[in-house]
Amino acid sequence: MIKAIIFDLDNTLIDFMGAKLTSCKASINAMIDAGLKINRKHALKILFELYGQYGIEYNRIFQKFLLETTGRIDVKILSAAIVAYRKVQASYHKPYDGVYRVLEGLRKRYKLAIVSDAPALKAWLRLTEMGIQDYFDFVVTFSDTRKTKPHSLPFERAIKKLRLKPQEILFVGDQPQRDIKGAKAVGMITALAEYGLQKKYEKYLRQNKPDYMLKSIEDILKVV
């Protein structure tokens, strides 16, 4: 019997990659307007290659981008990129359709928590921007364990805080090779947020088959 539900944050409750892509496009446009000579499509490719190298949360990505593309950091261009990114990000962060309704219904019957690979401040900023920070009993972030999923430590920290058996906990996440693999390894019930998938994960799904597939967040109500 499910007694608690743990959610991943990015691309499970919030369209994080949608916000990231839109913010990055705005930054590239701002840098070009500020004098950077580069093709927009090529610039976006380089930027996301750098994210792949340094991490999607890396906060000096535009400095790395300018060094990669021009060999130096032009502060005027850098500031244009940062301001444009922040403006778009602040206005874009929003939960998926149905999140408020689902969380409101679930919290009356279950303990709710979040396990995220984001640093604590960034995770809480996103939750607060969306206005859902008070729905959860606790939040476990990278800052709490210094480990990212699928390492067992973030999941074990959540289990300990819930004071429940793993098989009484449903974990909801969008990445088979991180969320589903890690949650299954510690004995949790798992549900894949298929609506948040950013790539084709067929091979990962074969290796880390979830107990449930969610076409929308509202499908959680059918599971529980």
CATH of the domain at 31: 1.10.150.520
pLDDT of residue 202: 64
Residue 140 has pLDDT above 80, yes or no: yes
Quick one: 122 and 199 in the same domain? yes
Number of domains in the chain: 2
Indicate the pLDDT class of residue 203, thresholds 50, 70 and 90. Answer: low
End residue of a domain, out of 92, 121, 142 = 92
Of the two residues 196 and 53, the one the predictor is more confident about is 53
Between vectors from CA 123 to CA 83 and to CA 63, what angle results, nearest 5°?
A: 35
Quick one: 203 and 146 in the same domain? yes
- Return the closest-CA partner of residue 13 out of 188, 150, 133: 133
* Two structure tokens written together for 21: 């892509």
pLDDT digits (tens, 9 = 90+) for 98-136: 999 999 999 999 999 999 999 999 899 889 988 999 999
| Measured distance CA(205)–CA(185) in Å, rounded | 14
Domain hosting 46: range is 17-92
Length of the chain: 224
Quick one: 106 and 201 in the same domain? yes
| Structural contact between residues 179 and 200, judged by C-beta atoms closer than 8 angstroms | no
Collapsed DSSP state (helix, strand, coil) of residue 158: helix
CA atoms within 13 A on the CB side of 7: 29
pLDDT digits (tens, 9 = 90+) for 44-85: 999 999 999 998 889 999 999 999 999 999 999 999 999 999
Quick one: 48 and 78 in the same domain? yes
Quick one: 194 and 216 in the same domain? yes
pLDDT of residue 176: 92
